[in-house]
């Protein structure tokens, strides 16, 4: 303890602390941002993610082919100069379909995660902070929703509201926030009786301020890690729903759909599985590295510089 503490303090002295303007704003995020900038893997991952997002959302405007343009005479051909990643059995360009599929997968992935994150963090933090009977009640609600069979829930949604893309977000978000709420609640419960929370109360801070200024930042590590795990989970859920015919409809594509279709013909046309799988894998890897980097960057104690 003593040794490491001395080391940390020496580092702190040697460190040229921030700049003058660093006094303002939520400095935790500002500091985290600076630390993140020093994490090579995190930076590379961020760049890759941005490239994939840009390619998916802007790329298709520059392409002559559409995701539904078929060329039945051509059929499935391996990658060549005309079709960079080859074509599928209907002669549709795989590269184009991956870009279009990225739109669906990314929006489902990020939107549903954002929804799950927001609801889960709020719900969990409030439940854990208030404690007692309210906590009990709020957590039983979570248990009940958790017990609902997901597929049935989605089918019901589709039956009542029709097949709308938005419903996909709603359905997936509605399931994913439950675990997030539980994680945040657990964190808040363990923080609840820490002395600095008592001290904050003794300073006259209001409950919301204690929750948002003191508790949530302390729980950010697990929140971020779980959020980065949620994104791929959501993308796979979307693929599963599409497989059941409840998600995106052909000829529209998503990464999940492409992988599923590719898997069916992997022996004859392996590129149809390899490329979508590769793109999904790269995206998920980047997300995980970014999440890891963010978690480390947000913990002032983990600062290695």
Partner 1 sequence: MATLLRVEHLRTSFHTRAGTVRAVDDVSFSLNPGETLGIVGESGSGKSVACLSLLRLIPSPPGRIETGRADFGGIDLLHCEDRQLRAIRGDRIAMIFQDPMTSLNPYMRVGDQVIEPLVIHAKISREQAWHRGIEALREVGMPDAEKRMRSYPHEFSGGMRQRVMIAAALITKPALLVADEPTTALDVTVQAQILELIRKMQRELGTAVIFITHDIGIVSGFCDRVLVMYAGRIVESGSTAQIFYKPKHPYNQALQKSIPALHEKGEKLYTIPGAPPDLSKPIPGCAFAPRCEFAQEKCTTSTIALKDVTPDHFSACLRIQLREIDLTPAHLPNRLFAGE
Question: For binding to partner 1 (CB under 8 A), which residues are involved?
Answer: 5, 8-9, 12, 17-18, 22-24, 27-28, 31, 132, 193-196, 198-206, 209, 213-214, 217-218, 220, 298-301
Instruction: CB nearer to partner 1: give 186 or 221.
Output: 221
Cβ-based nearer residue to partner 1, 28 or 90: 28
- Closest approach of partner 1 to the CB of residue 113, in Å: 23
Q: How many CB atoms lie within 10 A of CB 218?
A: 17
| Category of 25 on φ-ψ map: left (φ > 0), alpha (ψ -120 to 50) or beta | left
- What is the nearest approach in angstroms of partner 1 to the Cβ of residue 203? 3
Q: How far is CA 209 from the centre of its chain?
A: 26
- In the bound complex, what is the minimum distance in angstroms from residue 217's beta carbon to partner 1? 4
Closer residue to partner 1 in complex, CB, 116/219: 219
Rounded to the nearest angstrom, the gap between the alpha carbon of residue 46 and the centroid of all alpha carbons in its chain is: 13
Nearest-angstrom CA–CA distance, 225 and 222: 5
Q: What gap in Å lies between CA 232 and CA 47, rounded to an integer?
A: 18
104 membership: H or E segment, kind and range:
helix 94-130
Nearer residue to partner 1 within complex by CB, 34 or 69: 34
Query: Is residue 236 classed as helix, strand or coil in its secondary structure?
Result: helix
Residue 84 phi/psi, 5° resolution?
-55, -40
Least distance to partner 1, CB of residue 61, Å = 43
Tell me the sheet residues that pair with 87.
93
Least CB distance to partner 1 at residue 141 (A): 22
């Amino acid at each position: 303890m003593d040794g490491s503490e001395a080391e940390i303090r020496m580092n702190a002295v040697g460190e040229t602390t921030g700049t003058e303007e660093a006094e303002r704003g939520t400095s935790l995020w500002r500091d985290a941002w600076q630390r993140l900038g020093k994490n090579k893997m995190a930076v590379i991952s961020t760049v890759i993610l941005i490239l994939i997002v840009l390619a998916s959302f802007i790329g298709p405007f520059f392409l002559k082919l559409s995701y539904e343009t078929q060329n039945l005479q051509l059929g499935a051909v391996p990658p060549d100069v005309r079709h960079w990643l080859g074509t599928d059995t209907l002669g549709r360009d795989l590269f184009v379909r991956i870009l279009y599929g990225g739109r669906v997968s990314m929006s489902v992935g990020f939107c549903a995660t954002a929804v799950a994150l927001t609801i889960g963090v709020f719900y969990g933090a409030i439940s854990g902070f208030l404690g007692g009977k309210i906590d009990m009640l709020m957590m039983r609600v979570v248990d009940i929703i958790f017990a609902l069979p997901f597929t049935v829930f989605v089918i019901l949604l589709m039956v009542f509201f029709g097949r709308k893309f938005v419903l996909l977000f709603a359905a997936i978000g509605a399931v994913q926030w439950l675990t997030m709420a539980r994680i945040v609640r657990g964190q808040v419960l363990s923080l609840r009786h820490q002395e600095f929370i008592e001290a904050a109360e003794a300073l006259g801070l209001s409950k919301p301020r204690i929750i948002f200024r003191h508790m949530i930042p302390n729980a950010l590590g697990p929140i971020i890690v779980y959020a980065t795990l949620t994104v791929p989970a959501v993308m796979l859920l979307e693929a599963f729903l599409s497989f059941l015919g409840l998600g995106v409809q052909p000829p529209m594509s998503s990464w999940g759909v492409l992988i599923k279709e590719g898997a069916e013909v992997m022996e004859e046309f392996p590129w149809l599985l390899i490329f979508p799988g590769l793109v999904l894998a790269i995206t998920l890897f980047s997300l995980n590295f970014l999440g890891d980097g963010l978690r480390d960057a947000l913990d002032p104690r983990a600062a290695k510089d």
